[in-house]
Amino acid sequence: MSRVADADCFFGGREELLSPDDSMNACFTAFDKDRDNRLSVVEFGGLCRALFRNDAGKPYLLEARKLAEMFSVFDKNEDGYIDREEFKMCWSKWIKTVVRPVSAFVIVDVQNDFISGSLAVCNCSAQHKGEEVVPVINEALDTIKFDVVAYSMDWHPNNHLSFVTNVAKYPMHPSSKVKAADAKLYDKVVYDGDPVKEQILWPPHCIQDSWGAELHPDLKIVDNALWIKKGYDPEIDSYSAFFDNAKISDTGLSRQLRQRGVTDVFVCGIATDVCVGATAIHSLEEGFRTIIMDDACRGVSAEDIETLKQDIMRNSGVIVATSQVKSMVQGRDRRPELGYKLALMLRDARPC
């Protein structure tokens, strides 16, 4: 690309963009409108307008505050400009990831007990039909080339403390408003221990090696997938595919995704406001750009689902329909929220 290249079109050709260093220099030059060998905030804004577009080429709106924050990440000497040396990090750590993400598709707990068994979401207040996620997920697996696919499964022993039938087996903390003798299904209790554990009481579900713990028989299983079994410690629950509820132990998922260079985690499954939501929150905390595939999820409570979505978006996660995912995986639909999230991670990781 020459010095007179049209900056607005610079990020259209992904393969051309991410070749050798001359592409980095061409990118810098394309947005250095006044040719002073540095990018001002205004010129960086032009870069961002070209970078953050949907797959039809329409720019996304970007808040001025977030633009300024992202600019400050790369203006390391704080002189109000990004020079060519500073732009090297902007190019290698930020632009390359935005344009060419590495994706993981994390399919959470699409198990029989959550669909038609003892804890079927159709019997919960939102009255969702869990089986409806299966064809949506299968279509995504058939049509989208994810770099990594992972399946998580609840995998409880019979004596798990989350089962209402076991409530008398575990000592209550004095702060628990519900006592063991009075505890009912879906009550919230507080168990004693280190740490103290707040626990919703569920019916027995997803017991190891049972029919209820099996994935739905129609769910597509791909080769070379990662398998995450969680909740096998009887003394603590594990909603997330990353950690138990107290973040004492991890499942190894984060490490395996990092080993594969994953930048973007797409999450779906059952239930939106419980295990899917906990997985997405931990994904954000672990530094992955995180996307919930809304139509590939079903949940328990409509109110809690909405609360979860607001939490995810407040933390620079994104909620999308599955039909939008392919272009995001291919780097053609580039969301400013995810770019902002990545910039903040680079800021926080940068040595003082």
**Tokens read off for 218:** 């129609």
Distance CA(240)–CA(97), nearest Å, equals 25
Q: Which of 113, 124, 230, 264 is catalytic?
A: 230
Q: How many CA atoms lie within 13 A of 11 on its CB side?
A: 29
Find the DSSP H helices in 79-190.
84-89, 96-99, 112-115, 133-143
How many whole angstroms separate alpha carbon 317 and alpha carbon 290? Answer: 5
Q: What is the DSSP letter of 79?
A: S
348 CB contacts (<8 Å, ≥6 apart)?
A: none
Please say if 230 is a catalytic residue: yes
What is the Cα–Cα distance from 74 to 350, expressed in whole angstroms? 10
Mutual orientation of helices 277-285 and 302-314 as an angle, nearest 10°? Answer: 10
341 part of the active site: no
Catalytic residue among 48, 275, 309, 333: 275
283 vs 141: CA distance, rounded Å? 21
Please identify which of the residues 109, 264, 273, 304 carries the catalytic annotation.
Answer: 109
List the catalytic residues.
Answer: 109, 230, 275
